[in-house]
């Protein structure tokens, strides 16, 4: 058995960011307005602080301005909703990213829904889920959107293929399945109550791992030649897929890190430039 080819998310993401940066520069030259991404962070969770900082740095490098709103951990749902509504109404802000999780005491859904759909560049609102599901123009959830871009970059057409998505979270598994369905894959969702996960995964031509359990899916669970997208990011840079055994069975596989991860920010930046372009009517 030959080893799988790696899907190089770092390289594909770099191309997407370069293109977004070019579009941002063109937009600024034409309109005098720099696309602006507002990042909102509640509390000081170290991982979230790092993610937000990374998104701001990458934005800057791509010619996208960022405005940061840091709120104390004790912020209430009403206060957070109020800030998000202000940003939604502010014409100088084109995209809004609410870093999540936001804390147990906050109604995360209410907060997401305070983001205007035309500024929902992270693809977290009901409106974005609907457009994603119907294959209509709108903003996609960034990580699932990034996974589809990886498939495109490696000429994997989901149409007619059996796709199994392991995980059904609102920001990852569910939208990943919907995007695959919109591209005519036959989609099965698995989750913590799925019986005989291995047998279901073994039917898949495309496997999406979006669980958060280190090495849950191994080579023994894969159909030979399967395409494997591993969104999992667990302690010690370990994915949800056991790379060493999966690479022997798959035809294409994402490494962790350097696979799905870099695609998330790339799609966020691309969607911010698109949001600014639409709002400026340019
Ligand atoms: P989550 O909200 O905890 O959802 C995990 C999902 O996995 C749930 O649907 C859960 O089922 C399912 N699950 C749990 N144990 C399972 C098992 N043993 N068998 C089958 N399904 C199982 O997590 P998430 O936010 O979607 O994140 C998942 C992973 O992706 C994490 O490692 C996270 O770090 C990573 N991630 C990466 C990126 C990126 O940019 N690369 C972005 C976001 C997340 P139930 O619904 O039944 O509970």
Ligand 1 centre to CA of 228 (Å) is 16
Take atom 2 of ligand 1 and give the residue whose Cα is closest: 169
**Is 272 a member of any domain?**
no
Residues 56, 120, 122, 242: which is the catalytic one?
122
Does residue 102 sit in the same domain as residue 162?
no
Does residue 92 sit in the same domain as residue 179?
no
pLDDT digits (tens, 9 = 90+) for 131-157: 999 989 999 999 999 999 999 999 999
**Is 237 a member of any domain?**
yes
Take atom 18 of ligand 1 and give the residue whose Cα is closest: 192
Residue where a domain terminates, one of 71, 103, 118: 118
Query: What pLDDT, on the 0 to 100 scale, is given for residue 69?
Result: 98
The average pLDDT across 22-40 equals 98
Does residue 107 sit in the same domain as residue 158?
no
Residue with tokens 């992270």: 122
The average pLDDT across 38-66 equals 96
Question: pLDDT band at 282, cuts 50/70/90?
Answer: confident
Query: What pLDDT, on the 0 to 100 scale, is given for residue 77?
Result: 98
The average pLDDT across 162-185 equals 97
Query: What pLDDT, on the 0 to 100 scale, is given for residue 2?
Result: 79
- Whether 138 has a binding-site annotation, put simply, is no
Does residue 111 sit in the same domain as residue 146?
no
Could you confirm whether 99 is annotated as catalytic? yes
Take atom 34 of ligand 1 and give the residue whose Cα is closest: 233
Q: What is the CATH number for 221?
A: 3.40.50.720
Query: What pLDDT, on the 0 to 100 scale, is given for residue 253?
Result: 98
Q: Is the CB of 172 under 6 A from ligand 1?
A: yes
Does residue 149 sit in the same domain as residue 98?
no
At 275 the three-state DSSP class reads helix
Does residue 112 sit in the same domain as residue 63?
yes
Does residue 112 sit in the same domain as residue 150?
no
Total domain count, the chain: 2
Q: Is the CB of 195 under 6 A from ligand 1?
A: no
Does residue 82 sit in the same domain as residue 149?
no
Average pLDDT, the chain: 97
Domain residues for the domain of 157 are: 142-261
The share of the chain scoring above pLDDT 70, in percent, equals 100
- Whether 167 has a binding-site annotation, put simply, is yes
Does residue 159 sit in the same domain as residue 204?
yes
Residue where a domain terminates, one of 84, 118, 152: 118
At 223 the three-state DSSP class reads coil
Q: Quick one: tokens of 208? A: 């999406």
Does residue 152 sit in the same domain as residue 253?
yes
**Is 134 a member of any domain?**
no
Give the contacts of 140 (CB within 8 A, at least 6 positions apart): 123, 128, 132, 148, 175, 179, 267, 271
Does residue 159 sit in the same domain as residue 247?
yes
Query: What pLDDT, on the 0 to 100 scale, is given for residue 21?
Result: 98
Residue where a domain terminates, one of 118, 134, 159: 118
pLDDT above 70: residue 1 = no
pLDDT digits (tens, 9 = 90+) for 70-125: 999 999 999 999 999 999 999 999 999 999 999 999 999 999 999 999 999 999 99
The average pLDDT across 33-45 equals 97
Cα 177 from Cα 209, distance rounded (Å): 11
Please, are residues 39 and 68 in contact by the beta-carbon 8 Å criterion?
yes
Could you confirm whether 55 is annotated as catalytic? yes
């Amino acid at each position: 058995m030959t080893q799988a080819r790696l899907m190089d998310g770092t390289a594909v993401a770099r191309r997407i960011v370069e293109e977004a940066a070019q579009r941002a520069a063109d937009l600024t030259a034409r309109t005098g307005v720099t696309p602006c991404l507002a990042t909102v962070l509640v509390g000081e969770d170290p991982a979230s602080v790092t993610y937000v900082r990374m998104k701001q740095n990458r934005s800057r490098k791509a010619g996208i301005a960022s405005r940061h709103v840091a709120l104390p951990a004790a912020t209430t749902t009403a206060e957070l909703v109020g800030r998000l509504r202000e940003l939604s109404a502010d014409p100088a802000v084109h995209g809004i990213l609410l870093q999540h999780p936001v804390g147990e005491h906050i109604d995360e859904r209410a907060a997401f829904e305070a983001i205007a759909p035309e500024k929902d560049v992270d693809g977290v609102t009901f409106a974005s889920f609907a457009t994603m599901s119907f294959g209509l123009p709108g903003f996609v959830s960034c990580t699932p959107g990034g996974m589809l871009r990886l498939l495109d970059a490696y000429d994997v057409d989901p149409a007619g293929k059996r796709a199994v998505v392991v995980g059904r979270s609102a920001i990852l598994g569910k939208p990943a399945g919907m995007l695959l369905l919109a591209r005519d894959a036959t989609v099965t969702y698995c989750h913590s109550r799925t019986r005989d996960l291995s047998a279901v995964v073994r039917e898949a031509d495309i496997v999406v791992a979006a669980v958060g359990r280190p090495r849950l899916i191994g080579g023994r669970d894969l159909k030979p030649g399967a395409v494997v997208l591993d969104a999992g990011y667990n302690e010690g840079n370990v994915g949800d897929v056991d790379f060493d055994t999966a690479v022997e069975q798959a035809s294409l596989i994402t490494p962790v890190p350097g696979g799905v991860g870099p695609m998330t920010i790339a799609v966020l930046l691309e969607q911010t430039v698109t949001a600014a372009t639409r709002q400026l009517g340019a």
